[in-house]
Structure 1
Amino acid sequence: MSKRFKASCPCCGSVELSAAELRLVVSPRRSFYLFRCPRCEQAVRKPAGPRIIELLTDGGVLSVRVHAS
């Protein structure tokens, strides 16, 4: 069974997502994760601190690293 993550949609509240349904953007200035709510299909963006980055990365979420220029 694949890892499931709980996240919060501003419209629907708590939702469960698979690693494939999440994307993580890691930047020196501002990191965040993205998903489309499985209930209302709204695109959601949430901030990601070091602990969230670690949990999502360890759970197999695809991440993109952006370097400041």
Structure 2
Amino acid sequence: MSESSASGAGVTAHEGMTVAAAFAGMRSVTPVTFRAGCPDCRVSFELAASSLRLAIGASSRTTFYSFTCPECGEAVRKPAGERIVELLTGGGVRTLRLHSTL
């Protein structure tokens, strides 16, 4: 079996390794949930990462996260500062990077 090193990352890959072998030592991961609140109906709740979307723009005005309130069904959009972006991306929230069209 030959060994190859990924470009300077310090990771070694083995040819012929199966997915099952690669993940054999991993344990189950607890799903991440986020606390949120609806500005319309004022209900607080927890959402799975899959229920949130994060949009990262060129400025703080164009960086936000969004979700649909599970209580009243309203679409909610809230600003996302650096810390919120860090928490959401670390928790597996799907991210969209917005690009300027000059």
User: Normalization by structure 1: what TM-score?
Assistant: 0.92
Q: C-alpha distance in 2, partners of 1:68/1:53?
A: 19
Q: Which runs of 4+ in 1 moved over 2 A?
A: none
CA root-mean-square deviation:
1.0
Long gaps (5+) in structure 1: none
**Greater relative contact order: 1 or 2 (C-alpha under 8 angstroms, separation 6 or more)?**
1
* Aligned residue in 2 for 1:12: 42
SS at match of 2:31: coil
Long gaps (5+) in structure 2: 1-29
* Aligned residue in 2 for 1:2: 31
Determine if contact 1:22/1:35 at 8 Å carries over to the other structure: yes
Cα drift, residue 50 of structure 1? 0.6
SS at match of 1:16: strand
Structure number with the higher strand fraction is 1
Size of the aligned set, in residue pairs, is 69
**Greater radius of gyration (CA):** 2
User: Normalization by structure 2: what TM-score?
Assistant: 0.64
SS at match of 1:44: strand
Q: C-alpha distance in 1, partners of 2:31/2:75?
A: 22
SS at match of 1:33: strand
